[in-house]
Amino acid sequence: MTLRVTDHPILGKLEKKKAVTFTFNDKQYTGYEDESLAAALLANEIRTLRHHEESGSSRGIYCNIGHCFECRVSINGKQGVRACLTPLKGNMIVESHGKLPTPVRDWRSSDE
């Protein structure tokens, strides 16, 4: 079932927009040009945008207007870009960030 609201009782029909393709973690998807990347991903039913740098737990959009930085992804190689503030362009290469090696931790038990 599509999540796109194509017909709205008050806002009317969805205006025709140009479809473009992009990749997210090496898979190809279709979205509308200049819609937010977060919206394009959600319309493709993608909710997990990254994994937490330290815990590795999955994360997605939270505030959707740039305040919380939960939706940060890498776009065309640039890291830490907010998906909710980025207009989608054709051929965009989007990648999730994953868990990082944790430099600060309690090594005592594992190093013994």
Partner 1 sequence: MNNVIIIGSGPAGLTAAITCAQKGLEVSVIDEYMKPGGRLLGQLYEQPDGSWWNGINESKKLFQQAVNLGVQFYLETPVFNIEKKDSLWVVYTDKETFQTTNLLLATGAAEAPVPIPGWTLPGVMSIGAAQIMTNVHRVKPGNRGLIIGINVLSSAIAMELKLAGVDIACLALPKNNQITHESAHPKKVLDSLLHVAHMAPSTFVKLGSKLMKNNFMKELGVTFYPRNGVKMWDIPIQLKKAVIEIYGEQEVEGVTIASISSKGEVIEGSEENIAVDFVCIAGGLYPLAELAALTGCPFHYIEELGGYVPLHNEQMMTPVEGLFVAGNITGIEGAKVAAAQGKIAGLSIAKRSGKHQLDEDLKDAVQQGADTRKNAYIQFHPEVDSGRRRIQEEWEEYLVNNTVQFF
Footprint on this chain of partner 1 (rule: CB under 8 A): 1, 3-6, 8-11, 14, 34-36, 38-39, 42-43, 47-49, 52, 57-68, 85-87
Closest separation between CB of residue 11 and partner 1, Å?
7
- Would you tell me how many other CB atoms lie within 10 Å of the CB of residue 23? 13
Give residue for tokens 């999730």. 96
Residue 14 or 100: the one with the smaller Cβ distance to partner 1 is 14
Closest separation between CB of residue 109 and partner 1, Å?
26
Spatial separation of the C-alpha atoms in residues 17 and 14, rounded to whole Å: 9
Residue 17 or 93: the one with the smaller Cβ distance to partner 1 is 17
Residue 80 or 100: the one with the smaller Cβ distance to partner 1 is 80
Strand partners, 93: 23
Residue 80: φ, ψ to 5°: 70, 30
Give residue for tokens 């207009």. 87
CB distance 49 to 73 below 8 Å: yes
Residue 6 or 91: the one with the smaller Cβ distance to partner 1 is 6
